[in-house]
C-alpha cells in the first residue's frame, strides 16, 4: 500500500517502468531485464532494476515527470503520452542533407540506417544519393504517442542513498558500486569498478550541489590489491 502524500519537486524516488509505442505496442525501453529480452532490446552491459530519479529535475520526459508527481510510493500507473509530452513533434527542418565530404573527412562510410554523430548531433542516415547523405536528426520516437507502465518503488531519504542514486542515474552503476562519504556539506565519492569522463563527474557533482545543498564534491581513485 502506498504512503500518504504525493511526490513534490526535489524528492528522490526509485522507479520501474516499461515504455511502448501506442500504435505498434513495441517495447522501446524498460527497467525489467526479462521484458528487455522478450522485446529484443536487452543490453548485457546494463544493470536492470529500479532507476533513481529526482522529481522535477528533468531526468525523465515531461509526461512521466508529471505522472510521478501525482503518485505515491508503491503505486503503479499506466499513462498515455502524446508527442509533446514525450519525445516531441517531428520537425522537417531536422531532416537535412550532409555532403559526402563530411564523412570522408572523418574517415567514415555512410550506410543506410546507420546512426551517426555530425556536428554534435545524433541522427539516422535515411538515404545515400551520390555526393549527398540525408540524415534524420529527429528523435526516433518523435511525433508518436507512447504508453508507460510506471511504479514508484521507494523514496530515498538518507543522504548517502541520494548520492548513490545520482551516481547510478548518470553512470548506470548499481547503488552499492559507489561509496560516498559525507562530511557536513562536502561529499567524497569512490567508485571502484569503473572510471568516467570528467563531464560525467561534473554532471554528478552539479546535481548533488543543486538538489542536496552540498558545497563540494570530490572523486577519489581507489586501488585494491587483488587476491
Residues 145 and 212 in one domain: no
* Winning range, highest mean pLDDT, from 70-79, 105-114, 117-126: 70-79
Task: Count up the domains in the chain and report the number.
Answer: 3
Residues 66 and 12 in one domain: yes
Residues 78 and 109 in one domain: no
Residues 225 and 178 in one domain: yes
Residues 41 and 147 in one domain: yes
Decide if pLDDT at 96 tops 50: yes
Residues 40 and 151 in one domain: yes
**What b/e string do you get for 47-75 counting C-beta neighbours within 10 Å, with b at 16 or more?**
ebebbbbbbbbebbbebbbebbeebebeb
Decide if pLDDT at 78 tops 80: yes
Decide if pLDDT at 72 tops 70: yes
Three-state SS sequence of the chain: CCCCCCCCCCCEEEEEEEEEECCCCCEEEECCHHHHHHHCCCCCCCCCCCEEEECCCCCCCHHHHHHHHCCCCCCEEEEEECHHHCCCCCCHHHEEEEEHHHHHHCCCCCCCCCEEEECCEEEEEEEEECCEEEEECCCCCCCCCEEEEEEEEEEECCHHHHHHHHHHHHHCCCHHHEEEEEECCEEEEEECCCCCCHHHHHHHHHHHHHHHCCCEEEEECCCCCCC
Decide if pLDDT at 2 tops 50: no
Q: Are 73 and 2 in contact (CB under 8 A)?
A: yes
Residues 44 and 152 in one domain: yes
CATH of the domain at 19: 3.10.50.40
Residues 9 and 58 in one domain: yes
Residues 176 and 126 in one domain: no
Whole-number Å distance between alpha carbons of 147 and 64: 10
The torsion angles phi and psi of 196, rounded to 5 degrees, stand at: -135, 155
Q: How confident is the model at residue 5 (pLDDT cuts 50, 70, 90)?
A: low
Residues 114 and 34 in one domain: no
Q: Are 89 and 143 in contact (CB under 8 A)?
A: yes
Instruction: Report the mean per-residue pLDDT for the chain.
Output: 91
Whole-number Å distance between alpha carbons of 55 and 162: 12
Decide if pLDDT at 136 tops 50: yes
Residues 122 and 145 in one domain: no
Q: What pLDDT, on the 0 to 100 scale, is given for residue 105? A: 81
Find the domain containing 34 and state its range: 1-89+140-156
CATH of the domain at 128: 2.40.10.330
Count CB-CB contacts under 10 A for residue 118: 17
Residues 38 and 70 in one domain: yes
Q: What pLDDT, on the 0 to 100 scale, is given for residue 107? A: 81
CATH of the domain at 180: 3.30.70.2210
Amino acid at each position: 500500500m502506498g504512503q500518504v502524500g504525493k511526490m513534490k519537486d526535489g524528492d528522490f524516488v526509485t522507479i520501474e517502468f516499461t515504455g511502448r509505442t501506442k500504435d505498434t505496442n513495441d517495447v522501446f525501453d524498460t527497467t525489467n531485464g526479462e521484458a528487455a529480452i522478450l522485446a529484443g532490446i536487452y543490453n548485457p552491459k546494463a544493470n536492470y532494476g529500479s532507476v533513481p530519479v529526482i522529481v522535477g529535475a528533468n531526468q525523465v520526459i515531461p509526461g512521466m515527470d508529471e505522472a510521478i508527481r501525482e503518485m505515491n510510493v508503491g503505486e503503479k500507473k499506466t499513462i498515455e503520452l502524446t508527442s509533446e509530452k514525450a519525445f516531441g513533434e517531428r520537425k522537417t527542418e531536422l531532416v537535412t542533407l550532409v555532403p559526402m565530404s563530411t564523412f570522408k573527412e572523418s574517415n567514415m562510410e555512410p550506410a543506410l540506417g546507420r546512426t551517426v554523430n555530425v556536428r554534435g548531433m545524433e541522427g539516422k542516415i535515411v538515404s545515400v544519393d551520390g555526393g549527398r547523405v540525408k540524415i534524420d536528426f529527429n528523435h526516433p520516437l518523435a511525433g508518436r504517442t507512447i504508453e508507460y507502465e510506471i511504479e514508484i518503488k521507494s523514496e530515498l531519504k538518507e543522504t548517502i542513498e541520494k548520492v548513490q542514486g545520482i551516481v547510478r542515474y548518470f553512470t548506470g552503476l548499481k547503488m552499492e558500486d559507489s561509496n560516498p562519504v559525507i562530511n557536513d556539506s562536502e561529499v567524497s565519492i569512490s567508485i571502484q569498478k569503473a572510471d568516467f569522463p570528467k563531464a560525467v563527474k561534473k554532471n554528478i557533482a552539479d546535481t548533488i550541489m543543486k538538489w542536496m545543498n552540498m558545497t563540494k564534491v570530490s572523486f577519489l581513485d581507489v586501488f585494491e590489491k587483488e587476491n
